[in-house]
Structure 1
Amino acid sequence: MASVAAARPVISSCLFLFLFLLFVAESGVFAARPARRSRRMNAIDRCWRGNRNWAASRQRLAACSVGFAGKMWGNAGKDVTFYRVTNPGDDPVNPQPGTLRHGASLVKGKVWITFAMDMVIKLGRPLVVKSFTTIDGRGADVQIAHGSGFLLYQVNDVIIHGLSFHDLQPQGPGPVISQRGEVMEMGSSDGDAIRLVGSSKVWVDHNTLYSCHDGLLDVTRGSSWVTISNNWFKNHDKVMLLGHDDGHLEDREMKVTVVYNRFGPRVNQRMPRVRHGYAHIVNNFYQGWGDYAIGGSMSPTIRSEANLFVAPRAGNKQITWREGRGKSWNWLSVGDGFINGAFFVQTGTRGRGPGYDSQQRFPVSGVKVVRSLTRHAGALRCSEQSRC
């Protein structure tokens, strides 16, 4: 009897421990670390980066876009063809299976492109990307370098994610396979990293872009419904152009969201430069500039919201630059943060908000957390076996 009595406290202790562990498992007490990590992410990253098995559910990314591009549901579904790039080579006229150009220009229907390994791709001519194409560099170090960049010509529903673009050069005229699978004659290219011409519903996310001959990202000639997010733009002169030229009135309908991007170091101008149209520039981190940060002409509407502007220690402190009189233009600064004497010159009336619908809307964070929100801007370094 004495031994049984002595065992009772031990049994009670074990039962208490079992119930405690069961409570912890059910309540998720020890899930605090991932939760805190998730809270530090911006709205886009929080949608997919917390999933350790992201590589097994890549199409989840299509549900995470925000801003004017809206959700990219058209890029996902059971009818998607998964295409894996295994060959870094490039033939602009007769692209071989396994190369990026074959997948982006020739595979019919919806295509989701991934990469089998790290690679540097030197494009002989601009890569003409077709509609309903996702180019997903997650899990590999994919560099588009030393040749041409991407051209989105009169296409829609395109995602460009997780690539590095650098040291791209002008190319002379010549033949190239088009987005319709036909060989066409292309004129000279300027050495842009990514250029949109007459394209819509495009999402450019988590890319690193620098040191190209001309622009890093151009949205031109009637392109609209575009979101540019989580990218890192650095070491460059003319960064981003929204609107082709002063005489191209079709760009009056242009709508572009620029969110969670990092600009700098060593950037000079066009972050962005806007002609006509509407630009919502929100929760971006500006690490200095040369001539200016945000500029434009032809009466664009610009809503600069909760961005962090760190002016250079010496040189121009003014964020804005206008070509033309611009007295009636609507350039509004809402909740922006200014460091080192940076200042934003507002013009016009209060202006209109972006008017997002439920598929485009996202929370605007305060400027105090912008450094954290943009900390992981650019192409992410992760493997298919690890969390991004």
Structure 2
Amino acid sequence: MAYQVSNFIPWCFVLAVVSITIFTPKVCFANKQSKIESLVKNQIDQCWRFNPEWRKHRSQLATCSVGYAGKMTNNIGKDLIHYKVIDPSDDPINPKIGTLRYGASKVQGKVWITFQRDMHIRLEKPLLISSFTTIDGRGVNVHIADNACLMIFKATDVIIHGLRIHHCRPQAPGMVIGPNGKVMSLGQVDGDAIRLVTTSKIWIDHNTLYDCQDDLLDVTRGSTNVTISNNWFREQNKVMLLGHDDGYMRDKDMKVTVVYNYFGPNCYQRMPRIRHGYAHVANNLYMGWVQYAIGGSMGPSLKSESNLFIAPMSEHKEVTWRKNSDGTEDKWEFYSVGDAFENGAFFIETQGGQVQKPNYNLEQNFKVVDAKCVRSLTMLSGVLRCSKSSIC
């Protein structure tokens, strides 16, 4: 068989603890801080990247997420299926064993997907990912590009890590194997890199996304408990949409954490744009924008905390934007706490009231570091280059 069941073997955190003790600096200097010090400040990465034998304990990653996704421990356990992609081809209805679609849509249960070698995968139709699935691209160079891309549809407990996703194109309606392994009819798809539709407990980490026809990442139709971390978003007009449309009231319950991401160069807008729900946006680097960085409509709430906003050379220095579909200004609750602003950037926040807290539980909580550390904190965002002889 192309996949097998194996037990999860936890890794001791002693090395990480020792590394934190030795390498944690008292002050962050963006032009001097080493990569290892950046790992210490990044709570997600320090959980697994200090282990030189991470390949033997890949599923340790599931315990490292923070923010609203919480720990992804539902993705691991004694019944975990390890599936290796050996074939880059794609059949949207009858996928072959060994292809990505077979592992992500056909295999049911807890599935941890890895790749045998570097691959360029051109999907014929959007890949619908089943619940309790992890796609782990660490250690190889995997591109999903030049046609259809990824969709998480009515699923929960999904991890997407270490993929390059780009040049995604709109797709006409058609038949495709669904997340339950059964063929279903799928409507028009706009050309997003990753689209979440009616999902919960989703973690998107250390991916590089760029140059797609629509957005790079959409969180829509009642999706919630999502963490978007350590990604590199670049070369894109519309980057990230949180909330389906003005009339979709279920998105009032949406909760999203956006942390340790690098936006730029050449990102125009939607980093993110929020409708209805709540987002905690922390420790991200914004390397300019064209229209705006963070926008909202339909009364969303946002806490922007310890981000670094570097304004473009153009006249658009304002970080924020708020408009309804009819062009009128919207009522929102946007707060800036500890953000840093360069090149004339400025943030218009809600006057009066109190800063809405994320209200994380213990497993979701993480420490937000000073904005002066953001350059070094995000220097390793996007797909990691992992050598065989050292830490990733």
TM-score, length-scaled by structure 1: 0.90
The one-letter code matched in structure 2 to 1:336 is D
Distance, in Å, in 1 between the alignment partners of 2:79 and 2:380 is 32
Q: 1:368 corresponds to which residue?
A: 372
Distance, in Å, in 1 between the alignment partners of 2:152 and 2:321 is 28
Distance, in Å, in 1 between the alignment partners of 2:239 and 2:35 is 31
Q: Displacement, 1:329?
A: 2.1
Q: Does residue 286 of structure 2 align to residue 308 of structure 1?
A: no
Q: 1:40 corresponds to which residue?
A: 38
Distance, in Å, in 1 between the alignment partners of 2:185 and 2:253 is 29
Q: 1:238 corresponds to which residue?
A: 238
The one-letter code matched in structure 2 to 1:329 is W
1:41-96 CA-partner distances (Å, limit 9, x unpaired): 11100111111000000011001000000000001111100000000000000000
Q: Displacement, 1:180?
A: 1.0
The one-letter code matched in structure 2 to 1:300 is P
Q: Number of residue pairs matched?
A: 360
Distance, in Å, in 2 between the alignment partners of 1:195 and 1:225 is 15
Distance, in Å, in 2 between the alignment partners of 1:181 and 1:39 is 44
Q: 1:217 corresponds to which residue?
A: 217
What does 1:12-161 correspond to in 2, within 5 Å?
32=22, 38-41=36-39, 42-161=42-161
The one-letter code matched in structure 2 to 1:94 is N
Contact 1:326–1:347 (CA under 8 A) maintained in structure 2: no
Contact 1:262–1:285 (CA under 8 A) maintained in structure 2: yes
Distance, in Å, in 2 between the alignment partners of 1:46 and 1:104 is 28
**Sequence identity, in percent?**
57
Distance, in Å, in 1 between the alignment partners of 2:70 and 2:220 is 19
Q: 2:281 corresponds to which residue?
A: 281
Q: 2:30 corresponds to which residue?
A: none
The one-letter code matched in structure 2 to 1:277 is G
Q: Displacement, 1:34?
A: 10
Q: 1:344 corresponds to which residue?
A: 347
Q: 2:390 corresponds to which residue?
A: 386
1:270-311 CA-partner distances (Å, limit 9, x unpaired): 000000010000000000000000001000001000000000
- Partner of 2:44, secondary structure, is helix
Q: Displacement, 1:40?
A: 2.1
Change (3 A) 1:208 1:37: closer
The one-letter code matched in structure 2 to 1:40 is S
Contact 1:85–1:114 (CA under 8 A) maintained in structure 2: yes
Contact 2:209–2:234 (CA under 8 A) maintained in structure 1: yes
Contact 2:108–2:181 (CA under 8 A) maintained in structure 1: no
Q: 2:180 corresponds to which residue?
A: 180
Contact 1:290–1:315 (CA under 8 A) maintained in structure 2: no
Distance, in Å, in 2 between the alignment partners of 1:338 and 1:100 is 42
Contact 1:47–1:64 (CA under 8 A) maintained in structure 2: yes
Distance, in Å, in 1 between the alignment partners of 2:140 and 2:390 is 12
Q: Displacement, 1:364?
A: 0.4
- Partner of 1:43, secondary structure, is coil
Q: 1:16 corresponds to which residue?
A: none
Q: Displacement, 1:267?
A: 0.5
Bigger fraction of residues in helix? 1
Q: Displacement, 1:189?
A: 1.1
Aligned CA-pair RMSD: 1.7
Q: Displacement, 1:126?
A: 0.3
Contact 2:297–2:332 (CA under 8 A) maintained in structure 1: no
Q: Does residue 173 of structure 2 align to residue 164 of structure 1?
A: no
1:218-267 CA-partner distances (Å, limit 9, x unpaired): 00000000000000000000000000000000000000000000000000
- Structure 2 residues not aligned, in runs of 5+: 1-17, 26-33
Distance, in Å, in 1 between the alignment partners of 2:235 and 2:391 is 29
- Partner of 2:96, secondary structure, is coil
Change (3 A) 1:148 1:70: same
TM-score, length-scaled by structure 2: 0.89
Distance, in Å, in 2 between the alignment partners of 1:145 and 1:88 is 12
Distance, in Å, in 1 between the alignment partners of 2:181 and 2:330 is 48
Q: Displacement, 1:347?
A: 1.4
